[in-house]
Amino acid sequence: MVNHSLTAALEAAGAQLAAEAARFASFGWMRGTSGNLSVVLSRVPLQLAVTASGMDKGELTPSDVVLVDSNGQAVGGGRPSAEAALHARIASLTDAGAVAHVHTVASVAMGHRHPDKIVFQDLEMLKGVGRPAEHEQVLLPVIANSQDMDILGNRLEAAHDPRMPAVVVAGHGLYAWGNDLVHARHHAETIEWLLELELAAHT
């Protein structure tokens, strides 16, 4: 049973998720119905608002959101993204308040080229993920894809570096997270810029 305060929080989250999804879709990062976003509404128990499955992310409304539990299962109806369980796993593992998953060409291409990790160094944009701009190699983990969210979550947890708020899933796309949706968006945009640069530099 969803209480009234949680319903109000879900509606507010839906409006924010719709706005952020439209922004990502305008970049071409959520083509078709791909990609998904989430925001944590409760820590105990863990509950997240996740974009609904099968929806055009450029046309979401505040009602196109589903409340899910720590296993990514819907609470009170609706059909969440198939990857809701991974969003919940990331939120639990990292204490993130929001997760962004986008399907970008650069993340998929670079994941194929570097199936374990992608290395960045001496780039000013690294400051955007809280890392030094000089003299230090910064590693972005890459994990193999799976349609089983338990397997994918285990791979992400094994590869997780608390200093890097993102991971590339080979053949799939980019997951980035942050304290809130805006913070997660900034991390996604920063990592995508770095991936595009590396892709262009070695083409």
- pLDDT (tens, 9 = 90+) of the chain, 203 residues, equals 456 677 888 999 999 999 999 999 999 999 999 999 999 999 999 999 999 999 999 999 999 999 999 999 999 888 888 899 999 999 999 999 999 999 999 999 999 999 999 999 999 999 999 999 999 999 999 999 999 999 999 999 999 999 999 999 999 999 999 999 999 999 999 999 999 999 998 77
Model confidence pTM above 0.85: yes
Task: Show Cβ contacts of residue 153 under 8 Å, excluding neighbours closer than 6 positions.
Answer: 85, 86, 89
The token pair at 51 is 């974009």
- Alpha-carbon gap, residue 64 to 35, rounded angstroms: 14
Residue 4: what pLDDT?
A: 65
Residue 77: what pLDDT?
A: 82
Residue 72: what pLDDT?
A: 95
Residue 202: what pLDDT?
A: 79
What are the E-state strand segments in the chain?
Answer: 36-43, 46-51, 65-68, 98-102, 117-120, 138-143, 166-169, 173-178
| Residue located via tokens 């863990």 | 46
**What class, spelled out in words, does domain 4-201 have in CATH?**
alpha beta
